[in-house]
């Protein structure tokens, strides 16, 4: 069953993601759901990078000399934890919340 584009009133297929006449895109907040998934993959990869960087940095701090301890390494790891949490939280929001939002047409 064909639908109409809300911008140019051209008939388009019900599952079309773009209007062939005016170029309007169906999505959430002006972007397609697939582009939000790509952004979430990037953010989750960035969170994983910060976790690995925190482990390496904490291990390095703990082994600098005889005066540093594992506690110092843990503090160094926790120094990067806000970046891990932010990137992971944004990535999970983009992955699981955005696709469930109401889609609209954007030009």
Is the whole-model pTM more than 0.85?
Answer: no
Per-residue pLDDT of the chain (107 residues; tens, 9 = 90+): 678 888 899 898 888 888 889 988 888 888 888 899 999 999 999 999 999 999 999 999 999 988 889 999 999 999 999 999 999 999 999 999 988 888 888 88
For 12-70, give the DSSP string: E-TT-SB-TTT--EEEBTTB-HHHHHHHHHHHHHHHHHHHHHHHHHHHHHHTSSTT--H
Kindly tell me the burial class for residue 9, based on how many C-beta atoms sit within 10 Å of its own C-beta (0-12, 13-18, 19 or more).
exposed
- Cβ-contact 19, 10 below 8 angstroms: yes
């Amino acid at each position: 069953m064909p639908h109409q584009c809300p911008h140019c009133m051209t008939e388009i297929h019900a599952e079309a993601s773009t209007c062939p006449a005016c170029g309007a895109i169906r999505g959430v907040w002006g972007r397609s759901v697939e582009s939000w998934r790509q952004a979430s993959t990037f953010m989750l990869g960035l969170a994983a990078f910060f976790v690995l960087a925190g482990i390496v940095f904490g291990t390095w701090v703990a082994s600098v000399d005889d005066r540093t301890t594992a506690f110092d390494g843990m503090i160094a790891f926790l120094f990067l934890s806000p970046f891990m949490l932010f990137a992971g939280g944004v990535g999970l929001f983009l992955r699981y919340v955005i696709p469930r939002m109401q889609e609209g047409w954007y030009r």
